[in-house]
Structure 1
Amino acid sequence: MDKPLTGVGATYEHSKLLVDSYRRWTGQELVPVENSREKGLEELLFTAPRVILSHGTESDPVLNYGNRMALELWEMSWEQLTGTPSRLTAEPMERAERDRFFTQVTANGYVDNYTGIRISRSGRRFYIVNATVWNLVDEQGIYRGQAATFLDYKYL
């Protein structure tokens, strides 16, 4: 994946992959794309009023994107987040369920209404509610990873 832009989080190409894949699977817009001429698509995603994050295709997938809300929720800098294996966002006891869920997403393209427990860098636990998780597929049909978005979470 391309090197992210400092302060925004993702390249235009990765931003487009997030938005296009979300639209492909759900039929909805992840962010108001009509505003992308005034604000760059990268900024729209980074400042969106919802958590958005993604991981790549490594054997142990590493997070490759998190918008401002994701960085705040997981209490990480961009560099910390994008160096974190995705599985470490869940507590060890939650990882098997998380893995089963991501296998289902891979098979079906996307799943919404996912709910699960996650953990921040400092150990703060939170419950994510009604997340949508989708496969990232580029214009050539190549699988590039998975992404998730959600509005609601509750600290435990």
Structure 2
Amino acid sequence: MSTQTDWKSPQMLRWCQYLLDSYAYWTRQELIPRKGTTYEQASYLFNCSFVVVSHQTREDPVLNYGNQAALNLWEMDWRQFTRTPSRMTAEPVNREERARVLQQARTQGYIADYRGVRISSTGKRFLVDQAVVWNILNPDGNTIGQGATFSVWRFL
């Protein structure tokens, strides 16, 4: 599976900082070790063993970031992943629950310990467990997206 290097763009390096800063703001913990340059942090995030995904705020959000673990799990390359409506990561039967969780995170800032079923691009179903979903803020404190991370999943 090929990966393009779009995560290295200046826009994505900035997005990764917003994602990391917001995670720390809401959870009072760092998602990754925050050392080195912006590029080094983004590289660590992209290559870490746990899943990190995000989408921007809009009516029907499209995924705008997925690290290598996410790309592998959803069986997509960067280009496919970042053109996928976020809702498509869940089967139709699970989309209402997914929407409820995202709304809960929007209201509370973040939720921890989320559990739900997702589906890869080839139809493989998997259960996500102990996921954190959080609002991504810009430096002005405005919500500009939502992120999710998890390290526990199993195929069904």
TM tier, smaller: over 0.9
Deviations 1:14-73 (A, max 9, x none): 110010000000000111112x34961110110112100000112101000000000000
Cα distance between partner residues in 1 of 2:22 and 2:41: 14
Amino acid at match of 2:95: R
Cα distance between partner residues in 1 of 2:49 and 2:138: 25
Q: Do the aligned partners of 1:49 and 1:151 also contact (CA within 8 Å) in 2? A: yes
Q: Do the aligned partners of 1:118 and 1:128 also contact (CA within 8 Å) in 2? A: yes
Query: Match of 1:7?
Result: 5
Deviations 1:101-128 (A, max 9, x none): 1110000000000000000000000000
Q: Do the aligned partners of 1:52 and 1:67 also contact (CA within 8 Å) in 2? A: yes
Q: Do the aligned partners of 2:13 and 2:38 also contact (CA within 8 Å) in 1? A: no
Point out where structure 1 has 5 or more consecutive residues left out of the alignment: 1-5
Cα distance between partner residues in 1 of 2:122 and 2:110: 30
Q: Do the aligned partners of 1:114 and 1:132 also contact (CA within 8 Å) in 2? A: yes
Q: Do the aligned partners of 1:91 and 1:119 also contact (CA within 8 Å) in 2? A: yes
Q: Do the aligned partners of 1:132 and 1:150 also contact (CA within 8 Å) in 2? A: yes
Query: Match of 2:22?
Result: 21
Cα distance between partner residues in 2 of 1:68 and 1:26: 23
- State the Cα distance separating 1:88 from its structure 2 match: 0.3
Between the two proteins, the alignment pairs up a number of residues equal to 150
Point out where structure 2 has 5 or more consecutive residues left out of the alignment: none
SS in 1 for 2:23: helix
Query: Match of 1:3?
Result: none
Cα distance between partner residues in 2 of 1:108 and 1:67: 25
Q: What TM-score, normalized by structure 2, do the two folds share?
A: 0.92
Q: Do the aligned partners of 2:137 and 2:143 also contact (CA within 8 Å) in 1? A: yes
SS in 1 for 2:7: coil
Query: Match of 2:45?
Result: 45
Cα distance between partner residues in 2 of 1:15 and 1:66: 10
Amino acid at match of 2:94: E
RMSD: 1.4
- After the TM superposition, list the runs of 4 or more consecutive aligned residues in structure 1 that deviate by more than 6 angstroms: none
Identity of aligned residues (%): 45
Is 1:127–2:127 an aligned residue pair? yes
Deviations 1:61-109 (A, max 9, x none): 1000000000000000100000000000000000001111111000000
